[in-house]
């Protein structure tokens, strides 16, 4: 606790689930957390739980204008960002035969374009300020498992992995690290309210460590990668899935 003293941390998609757990954990480590989410009511409640001057702003990660306005407001209220956690995502359940281009673009707009836009604006500001920044992208172990009914999602998250590796190379000279965390099936509100909840028993059979993953199982590794202690780690994607995927 206290390892993020004086840091400003942006977490997208943190009105609930994994994002909310990450926001609370970063705040517990004394970061000032800024939550960006379309659900301003839910994200404001999480910000209140965080304390330490946390606040929420409305953000559409797939809209360049919204992203620009968001960063301007963050800097006006809290100063330049030190940490960026790209968590916002749509998690669909749709068979391949039903995937059309509109669905594909909807998923890509948020899950991949949104990561690009947030990284573009965030890394530019970190470099201008000379910040030894930390970018943590939330990926997914579905890219290794090839999970069905999620083709566009898996493709987008595969793009997040590739972008993470490339940005680590591009930004390393500025002392900015870029890593990804790949959760497995996690008992978040969104998952428990979807057909994905039926997969827990099957997934647990594949896990090395038995049990049901929760958002609080994901947050600590994100907090570590956001800290100064992780300054020598970049370009990595870390599975946090109880050993379901071993690579």
The answer as to whether 247 is a domain residue is no
| Contact of 241 with 207, CB cutoff 8 Å | yes
pLDDT tens, residue by residue, 139-148: 999 999 999 9
Mean pLDDT confidence for 40-60 = 97
Residue 245: inside a domain, yes or no? Answer: no
Q: What is the CATH number of the domain that holds 224?
A: 3.40.50.720
Q: Is 3 contained in some domain?
A: no
Whether residue 242 is contained in a domain is answered as no
Q: How far is CA 197 from CA 133, 191, 193, in A?
A: 36, 6, 7
In the set 70, 116, 153, 224, the catalytic residue is 153
Question: Is 0.85 topped by the overall pTM?
Answer: yes
71 assigned to active site: no
| Total domains present in the chain | 1
On whether residue 91 sits in a domain, the answer given is yes
Q: Which domain holds residue 133?
A: 8-237
Query: pLDDT tens-digit profile of 74-121?
Result: 999 999 999 999 999 999 999 999 999 999 999 999 999 999 999 999
- In a domain, residue 219? The reply is yes
- pLDDT band with cut points at 50, 70 and 90 for residue 32: very high
Tell me whether residue 161 is in a domain: yes
* 44-48, 113-117, 193-197, 227-231: least confident range: 193-197
Strands (E), the chain: 8-12, 32-37, 55-58, 83-86, 134-138, 177-183, 237-240
70 with 56: CB under 8 angstroms?
no
Whole-angstrom distance, CA of residue 37 vs CA of residue 44: 9
Distance CA 10, CA 78 (A): 11
Instruction: Count the neighbouring beta carbons within 10 Å of the beta carbon of residue 97.
Output: 6
Assess if residue 244 is contained within a domain. Answer: no
């Amino acid at each position: 606790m206290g390892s993020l003293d004086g840091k400003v941390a942006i977490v997208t998609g943190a009105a609930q689930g994994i994002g909310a757990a990450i926001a609370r954990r970063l705040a517990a480590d004394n970061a000032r957390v800024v939550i960006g989410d379309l659900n301003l009511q839910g994200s404001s409640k999480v910000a209140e739980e965080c304390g330490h001057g946390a606040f929420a702003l409305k953000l559409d990660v797939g809209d360049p204008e919204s992203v620009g306005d968001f960063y301007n407001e963050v800097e006006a209220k809290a100063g330049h960002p030190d940490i960026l956690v790209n968590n916002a995502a749509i998690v669909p359940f749709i068979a391949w035969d039903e995937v059309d281009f509109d669905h594909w673009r909807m998923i890509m707009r948020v899950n991949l374009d949104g990561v690009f836009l947030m990284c573009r604006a965030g890394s530019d500001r970190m470099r201008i300020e000379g910040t030894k920044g930390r970018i943590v992208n939330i990926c997914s172990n579905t890219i290794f498992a090839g999970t069905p009914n999620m083709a566009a999602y898996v493709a987008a998250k595969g793009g997040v992995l590739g972008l993470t590796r490339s940005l680590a190379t591009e930004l390393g000279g500025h002392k900015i690290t870029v890593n990804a965390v790949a959760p497995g099936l996690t008992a978040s509100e969104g998952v428990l309210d979807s057909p994905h909840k039926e997969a827990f028993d099957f997934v647990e059979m594949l896990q090395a460590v038995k049990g049901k993953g929760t958002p609080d199982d994901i947050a600590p590794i994100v907090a570590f990668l956001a800290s100064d202690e992780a300054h020598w780690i970049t370009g990595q994607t870390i599975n946090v899935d109880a050993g379901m995927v071993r690579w």
